[in-house]
Amino acid sequence: MTPYKLNGAAWQESWDRQQEAYLPDREQRITAMLDVVDTVTGGGPLRLLDLAGGTGSISLRALARFAHVDITLLDQDPALLAIAAASLGARATIVTADLRDPAWADRLPHRAYDAVLVATALHWLAPARLTELYRELPAVLRPGGAFVNADHMPDPQLPELSRRLIARADARRAARYAAGAALEWGDWWERAALDPVLAPLVAERHRIYPQPHGPEWLPEATWHLDALRAAGFSETGIVWRGGTDAAVAAIR
Ligand SMILES: C[S@@+](CC[C@H](N)C(=O)[O-])C[C@H]1O[C@@H](n2cnc3c(N)ncnc32)[C@H](O)[C@@H]1O
């Protein structure tokens, strides 16, 4: 009998559908992030760090877009990293590290990345730790290198409109779940736990993340920009906004 093998492409697709239910404009935000990367390297060889990269959605899109790209994907979720390893293969270096640990960067194969990208992940960190992480980032970027963080960053100038936009997004998502168009986060993990390869890794990830989510602290974009400037980045600003989400960029 042929031994069961993890189908990386199928799980990657399933992850993307599950994430798109939360972020219908996910592809646009990733494109905006890669546009920043493009300006930094001008199409030349690229050394990219996909921070908290999960299954490798950003890495895969960078590989599809850029000809010469050396990718490091860092995360601590063993199940998502197994999917990343299956779909990226030798095209990326996969690093297991906890971003709550200030020594996380010691595990990287390089210093001086051209770009560090992170999406929908840093809201899992507590405020003090995120502030520190921002201070640690310049040490892994070359001068002129770019950091981009896309996440939930509601605009404080629009409190009532933001509330309504979130309610509208919630209703749309609920309709998609009811129609079976996508799996809700918890259901996706239950499905993953049925895969013979992923099952023990899902059990391990539930030990790493005992609660369904991290602290879920969602500061506005200006908080990120202030913290990045204080961390020593030269240029900082918003490069993309979609509803109550945004991507902030910072140049070392
Ligand atoms: C919602 S997923 C997003 C993954 C990927 N960036 C994407 O857009 O598909 C959040 C990711 O952050 C990772 N993460 C959260 N806290 C982390 C930590 N302390 N150290 C490393 N990774 C972390 C999770 O394991 C997960 O892969």
Tell how far the Cα of 117 is from the centroid of ligand 1, in angstroms: 12
219 within ligand 1 shell (Cβ under 6 A) = no
Beta strand 113-119 with 92-96: parallel, antiparallel or unpaired? unpaired
Residue 119, strand partner residues: 150
pLDDT at 2: 77
- Dump the DSSP string for 154-165: --TT-HHHHHHH
Q: In a mutational test of the pocket of ligand 1, which residue from 60, 77, 207 has the highest number of ligand atoms less than 8 Å from its CB?
A: 77
Residue 201, pLDDT > 90, answer yes
Ligand 1 centroid to residue 212 C-alpha, Å: 13
Residue 119 Cβ inside 6 Å of ligand 1? The answer reads yes
Q: What is the mean pLDDT of residues 61-72?
A: 97
For residue 78, how far is its CA from the centre of ligand 1 (angstroms)?
11
Q: In what order do the strands lie in the sheet with 245-251?
A: 92-96, 69-75, 46-51, 113-119, 141-152, 245-251, 235-242
* Tens digits of residue pLDDT in 68-85: 999 999 999 999 999 999
- Whether pLDDT at 212 is above 70: no
CA atoms within 13 A on the CB side of 204: 12
**174-189 per-position pLDDT tens digit:** 999 999 999 999 999 9
C-alpha 52/C-alpha 162 separation (Å) is 26
Q: Pull the structure tokens for residue 105.
A: 């960067």
Ligand 1 contact via 81 beta carbon (within 6 Å): no
Which atom of ligand 1 is closest in space to residue 77's alpha carbon?
25
Q: How many CA atoms lie within 13 A of 173 on its CB side?
A: 17
Q: Binning pLDDT at 50, 70 and 90, where does residue 210 land? A: confident
CA of 54 to the centre of ligand 1 (A): 5
The whole-number average pLDDT for the span 198-205 is: 98
pLDDT of the residue at 57: 98
Atom of ligand 1 nearest to the CA of 104: 20
Q: Is the model's pLDDT at 34 over the cut of 90?
A: yes
Burial string for 203-235 (b: 16+ CB within 10 Å, else e) reads: eebeeeeeeeeeeeeebbbebbbebbeebebee
Q: Check if 80 has its Cβ closer than 6 Å to any atom of ligand 1.
A: yes
In this predicted structure, what is the pLDDT of residue 109? 98
Type of residue at 89: G
Give the chain's mean pLDDT. Answer: 95
Confidence (pLDDT) at 103: 98
Is the pLDDT score of 214 beyond 60?
no
What share of the chain in percent tops pLDDT 70?
98
Instruction: Judge whether 15 and 86 are in contact, CB under 8 Å.
Output: no
pLDDT of amino acid 184: 95
pLDDT digits (tens, 9 = 90+) for 110-168: 999 999 999 999 999 999 999 999 999 999 999 999 999 999 999 989 999 999 999 99
pLDDT at 215 over 70: no
